[in-house]
Structure 1
């Protein structure tokens, strides 16, 4: 994936934390479990290659994943863990036992997710750098199965909460919607700027033309949320997976670090 640049022309430091399937041995297509559902057209156990995976580690139905019943594949983002593990291994799971790589993928993905959030937080507070250095060091652990990801998340979460409050400021007139059940909510045109929507359930919510500038969206469930025309400029801790899961269009305003999904 090409390095992204911000409006000033600088390379976005989170570019390396985005999936680059062309530099990966198709790890997510092998390591992960698929359960037949609205997101996956078949059952696939962990460690077994998806039948759509070609010998060159490319998806043979990539252009038609959604119409073929593999919507889940278009939402998933490894945060760059796949290509990093492939680089470290040097040879694919077809040429060596791949169990170590398969087990490491979900762990490194979570650590890279934390680095995604922390790198964004660094834009607001330079004191976040030691936390980035620590997670970077942990991500280089030889045996990632020994990493206590929950403990790492707990430490980082406290930092992110502090940064969120700093950026959003005091919002006395805005209801705290952290973890709120907003499934199918009618929020078209709503002013949600700088709102706390951490972990909110926004599944199939109508967010058309809503103002979500600098809203804290970490962990928010945006599956099938309608964000056509919504303004997500500067939304805090928004990820590519969340954007991929939502329904937007060309009028949706996204943070510069994120890519407009091809299925919008």
Structure 2
């Protein structure tokens, strides 16, 4: 009979994008057990979350971030998850107000003041603009498409069509966008790995800000993006089609902590 694990966890959220976090510096977590990750993320039988994050030791930075989608598989960079792990590291007294940490797409610098985390994202130099949409990678692949009636859009249905229909098995996250004013956009995001709409997506918010600037929908390099879970800001520098010093800024906070037997 398989012995039960007793796992102590923390639950964090960033604009409604929620994550289970473990302090895995002692390497206790069975990282290859994808069914366990999926169980923990299940909202009916487990803890419930959009993803699961391990904080681990790293030889040349403050810590390492290992990210799993709610389907149990390790995935590409998660911006809101990155902001949450910074708040988690602060809570564990690993960092003070600034940090450098390793993620799947490289080193990220971040700062935290209260619950506001400013996370530096990767540089972006390849935005593919099509007639009806743009595609770019901000640590994760993103489809960005302006729509006329965002509130009533069937994101689950339309997002899945694009995620599989255009991008195949590998897939892409899909962002539907509405412009609110000169420097503010509203978005709804279908996330691969979750295979549904989430309240917020940090790499998606970043992708929308850069794509809207690239396609001359805004002249501002300080953009507000309204998600279903709250507001985020994206600041960046641009030279031609190269985007550097990309900052994703917003709240990340502890929801609760506990233990689970599994």
- Same fold per TM (> 0.5)? no
Q: Considering only CA atoms, is the larger Rg found in Structure 1 or Structure 2? A: 1
Higher-RCO chain (CA-CA 8 Å, sequence separation at least 6) = 2
- Judging by fraction of residues, say which structure has more helix: 1
Which TM-score applies when normalising by structure 1? 0.28
